[in-house]
Amino acid sequence: MQNNSGMYQNGTEMENSVYALVFGSVISLGLPLNAVSLWILLRRHSLKSPSAVFMVNLAISDLLLVISLPTRVYFYATNKWPLGKMTCIWITMLFRNNIRSSSIFITFISLDRLLAVVYPLRSRHLRNSSNAWKAVSVIWMMVVVLNIPESVIFSRQLDKHNVSSCFRFSPPNLDDELSASDMAYVQLVLVVTMLVVNIVTTALVSWTLHRHVNDSAKINNKVNVMLIFAMNLMMFTAFFLPVSLGFKFYNLRPALNCLASVNCCLDPLLYYFSFDGFWKRKEDIVTCRRAVAGQDLMAYGQMALSTS
């Protein structure tokens, strides 16, 4: 029995070391990548573009996640939580908010790309910064509202367990488990819905670009366009969906949370491929307006993608 207990403790310590290492790596990569990306988006691209608005908020969401990770590194490195109940709740909510807000912002970026490619002229009245900021406000409001019942449920769970085991405690009793499952289903439905939207938009954009294969010379960033959609689908299947299914696999939650945190390191690639001239100044956007004047639909779609 002592040997089994020692093996279990050694296995747990090894898992904790892996989690601390992964979270630490996410901090070292995610913090500079997202900070630089946010600076470039604000400094060199106009926030009058809907894509830039969504990407700025995606970068903010990722930075909020990254700044919460040092506490997780400390917890898994020392197996202690000295910061109290409320800090544990806030850190947990920041992590869950990132999954939800990131999945929605990425979906809106896909929808914006769909409108730019498939309906470049008819969507001009929709693709503006005013509508983008309205959508962003609703997204953040919805994410924060979901925190209210979720925080109450999580607080009850912490009250029944040792708060020093913030990110890892025993499974809740039946009543708390049912309440937590309700919130988990909300997140799962949200992520699955966003995934379906991304699949549909990817198919429509791919079909549109294939249909205009003779005009492919006018869409120099065609590969970048499809890379954006491929990356979006990868984000959902590799990061958002597994962690959203985690409530069904309680013992895998720490590992799935660890995996999901990696998404914030890959979002800067989305920014890079979304802008044909990521390092160019926002004054270059005037080329998009010239394309509109020529009434060249595919050229405008290409310009809208590369500069918005």
Of residues 296 and 153, the one with the higher pLDDT is 153
Question: Mean pLDDT in the chain?
Answer: 81
- Percent of the chain at pLDDT > 90 equals 46
Yes or no: is domain 2-307 CATH 1.10.8.350? no
The least confident of 62-76, 152-166, 215-229 is 215-229
Q: Are 88 and 163 in contact (CB under 8 A)?
A: yes
Q: Is the pLDDT of residue 193 over 80?
A: yes
Per-residue model confidence as pLDDT tens digits over 94-150:
999 999 999 999 999 999 989 988 888 888 888 899 999 999 999 999 999 999 988
Q: Are 72 and 167 in contact (CB under 8 A)?
A: yes
Taking the C-alpha atoms of residue 106 and residue 110, their distance in angstroms, rounded to an integer, is 6
- pLDDT value, residue 298: 44
In the predicted model, what is the mean pLDDT of residues 193-207?
Answer: 94
- pLDDT value, residue 79: 87
Q: Is the pLDDT of residue 78 over 70?
A: yes
Determine the residue type at 259: L
Q: Are 32 and 66 in contact (CB under 8 A)?
A: no
The least confident of 60-64, 236-240, 244-248, 265-269 is 244-248
- pLDDT value, residue 124: 84
* Helix-then-strand count for the chain, H and E: 11, 0
- pLDDT value, residue 170: 55
pTM attached to this predicted model:
0.84
Where do the structural domains in the chain lie, given as residue ranges? 2-307
The least confident of 35-44, 47-56, 111-120, 207-216 is 207-216
**Burial class (CB within 10 angstroms; exposed 0-12, middle 13-18, buried 19+) of 214:** exposed
In the predicted model, what is the mean pLDDT of residues 249-272?
Answer: 88
